[in-house]
A and B are shown apart, each in its own frame.
Chain A
Amino acid sequence: MPVTSYLALGAVLFSIGLYGVLTKRNAVLVLFSIELMLNAANINLVAFSKYGLYANQTGQVFTLFTITIAAAEAAVGIAILFALYRNRNTTNADEFDSMKG
């Protein structure tokens, strides 16, 4: 089953991304890791659109949308990061705790 290897790749990528999100100190790296997770999801979508039970184009269309939104999201994320950096002079994620209750 060729789909298994794609899914395995997606799972590995997702796990790497998740690991990055949870452990990296640098906020830029966290942002990159989120991109990694998004791409893992994209791989799954594409894989299923080719080898899925009802193979059709929808998955690839969705992927295109996701890539677009991911780009926009990365832009917004970087912008927020810039703003934070200007205020705090750091990109260390541990120091961003203003959400504390």
Chain B
Amino acid sequence: MMEIAKALPTFILFSPLIGVAVILWLPRQKSQWIRMAGLLGTLPPLLFAFFLACQFNFTRGAVQFRQDLPWFSIPLGQQKWNFSYQVGVDGLSLPLLMMTAIIVVLAAIASFSIKKREKGYFLLFLLLEMGMLGVFVARNLFLFFIFFEVTLVTMFFLIGIWGLVNRERAANQFLLYNGAGSVLMLLGFIGLLTLFQTMDFDRLLGIMHDPQIMQMLAQNEMAQKVLMGAFLCISLAFAIKLPVFPFHTWMLKVHTEAPPPVVMIHSGILLKMGAYGLIRFGVELFPTQVKEIATILAVLGLINILIGAALAFVQKDLRRILAYSSVSHMGIILFGIASLNVAGLSGAVFQAVSHGFISALLFFFIGRLYERTRTTDITELGGLASPMPVMTGIFLVGGLALLGLPGLSGFISEFLAFLGLFHTQPIIAAVGTLGLVLAAVYTLRAVLTVGFGPTDTRWRELTDARWTETIPMLTMVGVILLIGVWPAVLGDPIQTTLEQIMARMGG
């Protein structure tokens, strides 16, 4: 039993492949079966993730369920570069892992609206899930990079084939930006590899926090430069993923052109990989370097918050509003990271998880709305609360969560992020609170224009939520409420790990 438990991350990681195998075996005409197989295929990772969460020791900050298997090595003269299969879970990756497993199931339900080439879609969908899970469990830079690329390639096809009108341009832009990001990341990783001859994350962690080695490196100017360069490359790569203004244009295209279930995943999980990467590789791996750019991060966060909010205020398309609101909310993650204390960093992780669920909820709603009205232009919509009170009510809850209403998850993350930043950068944080007001402004504009006001005759006959829609939406609302009302459920695992990170940083 214990042996099985030890290999849980591996099980989680590769369990989507069961679904892949089943779907490969199904004939392409049986679209109903393929959909069911796609949905069922997302369940094993969820079950394993729950099992892992039950087995997880919340009082330990260090990595748990670590597995280390030699994979291959490259001989280089006297030395050898060893590459291993290393996975593990700690308090930072567990919440994101759980979030991924849950949102993917709901996105699979939302994917029932996909009406062409279902086989290919669900194959890619499950592979994408594997990629995302891999990103969160990998404890090896090489492994991380591979899974990161898996998400990129699968997303490219999902956008390019199943997207809306301008899907191909969106897919191209997605690939260009993220490809550039990947190159930077790879450069950074290779820099680390050449310096320290390893890609093992935990060993690198040990090296980077070893005062002796660091002192030795401090004398070597070249090594310092390589280190700083690697840090900047990696940070930039994740900044593009997050995205940090002005690298956000690709993300707008994806939000407006990709099919709604894919946007759920994209906005809900993939953007959070940027946040996760920044914390894991930026803060955890480069403690001294990140301190130097903390102020820059805070300023970037401020720019994201304010510009995202301002842009979201004047958009007409609901998808664009939400896309810009994501830009704004990622600014809060940057705030949390820039504060470099437990409060701020847990705010960033809280925001990653909470915004994941909120944006997944909102894009689920938009997908269902689009299916009914064939438009997401808010100037055409209005008064939808009359024909569909339940849907609009849930949309309202999502909007309130987005603008940070206490009792819902968005508040906790904003509060913690600001709490953290006020300690280190009070002025920037104070200006940033303006974003809280602006968030209310654009969110209410969107929610009220869509839901309130007189109902257009075109929309009188719209049907309200069916149970296949109500259940996923209520699940997400439930999670949002749970985190909002009882944040300790998410806070406890994060806290111990973050405290350990902070203790290692020595400040």
Direct contact of A and B (CB under 8 A): no
Interface residues of A (CB under 8 A from B): none
